[in-house]
Chains A and B, each alone.
Chain A
Amino acid sequence: MDVHAAKYIGAGLAMLGMIGAGIGLGNLFGSYLQGALRNPSAAAGERPMLFLGMALTEALGIFALVIAFIILFV
């Protein structure tokens, strides 16, 4: 196989890592909304933790993106 084509395929495959980040983010915000609707008065206090969890989850997806870029351009 052409190395160039293999690079593109590899970069595409690397982006599969985003699946996990997507599931995680959906889970995170879904759970937050569940909790927030059950006890709206406690929702505001947990918002920093929500964004913190979002950042930590999202970082893993970003790692996949970085790997894809490394495959493509390095």
Chain B
Amino acid sequence: MAAIDPLHQFAIEKVVALPPVNIPGLGVIDLSITNSVVAMIIAAVAICLFFAVAGKGQVVPGRTQAVGEAMYGLVDGLTSSMIGHEGKKYFPFVFTLFVFIMTMNLFGLLNFVGVAHMFTPTSQVAVTAALALLTIGLVIVVGFAKNGLSFFKLFVPSGVPAAILPFLVVIEVISFLVRPLTLTLRLFGNMLGGHVVLAIFGSFVAALGAYALSTGGAAYAALIPSVLSFTMVVALTALELIVGFLQAFVFAALACVYLNDVVNLGHGH
């Protein structure tokens, strides 16, 4: 059996090695261009090109513009239904998050056999943690900018008996602090898990097929699980397409929920 190394695909490799930079207060940081960075740049450039084509605003939309409009409508529905009439202000941020994450997720499924496989930046905790901290950072900034110190009312649920209020405040604080963690781990775990399962079933196809063809005779029976594994890979790839979109949508939806908490603080929205 061939060695199965499903985590090899997540290895970070330097594409352009840059000298380490010494940032005061943070220490020495390696800012080399890695395969993860390249994949993110490709995603960003692809998004810019896509909206350069899709954003022409023709009266009768072409196919590209129809996709762009569908994505716009999806996120617009999200912000306006969750945040309310002030949602338009936060639309650009949520839309950027959604499109960027979705593009990274979906590009990660591309594989040019023999040339290169696209790296999935969202399978790195560093990337998802940065996105999650950005979101929570915006929530905190908006919370203080809009509400001042009454931002802390977020942790004090209303209409609660005084006896259990202290416990609830502690729980609310913990649940707020755990938000960036869950945002990070959900995206990371889904991408990592999906790709590992794909790699494992893919290695079944190759290993069992090679075993059957090289041994011959009764070993040809091993072709059956090999073919079954291959159909599994096809089905899982389809599932991963859905998951890639869904996780981006969920990330955007949760960003909206967290923003709604601070934008409509005390309005009982």
Contacts and interface: CB of A to CB of B under 8 A. Distances in A.
A48 B185 contact: no
A71 to B, nearest CB: 14
B79 to A, nearest CB: 11
Nearest to B249: A51
A48 B81 contact: yes
Contacts of B250: 51-52, 54-55
Nearest to B189: A62
A62 B186 contact: yes
A51 B82 contact: no
Contacts of A58: 186, 190
A55 B185 contact: no
Contacts of A56: 182
Contacts of A28: none
A74 to B, nearest CB: 12
A65 B189 contact: yes
Contacts of A59: 182, 185-186
B257 interface: yes
Secondary structure at the A interface, as helix, strand, loop or mixed, is: helix
A58 B246 CA distance: 12
A48 B82 CA distance: 9
A65 B190 CA distance: 10
Interface residues of B, number: 16
A57 to B, nearest CB: 10
A54 B253 CA distance: 12
Contacts of B192: 65, 69
Contact of A52 (B182, B193, B253): B253
A5 B182 CA distance: 30
B181 to A, nearest CB: 9
A52 B258 CA distance: 12
Contact of A48 (B78, B182, B186): B78
A48 B253 contact: yes
A33 interface: no
Contacts of A69: 192
Contacts of A55: 186, 250, 253-254
A63 interface: yes
Contact of B185 (A52, A54, A62): A62
Nearest to A51: B250
Given A59-B182, A62-B185, A65-B189, 6 more contacts: A51-B249, A54-B250, A58-B186, A59-B186, A62-B186, A66-B185
Interface of B: 78, 81-82, 182, 185-186, 189-190, 192-193, 246, 249-250, 253-254, 257
The 6 lowest CB-CB distance pairs between A and B, nearest first, are A62-B189, A55-B250, A59-B182, A59-B186, A65-B189, A62-B185
12 contacts: A51-B246, A51-B250, A51-B253, A52-B253, A55-B250, A55-B253, A58-B186, A59-B186, A62-B185, A63-B185, A66-B189, A69-B192
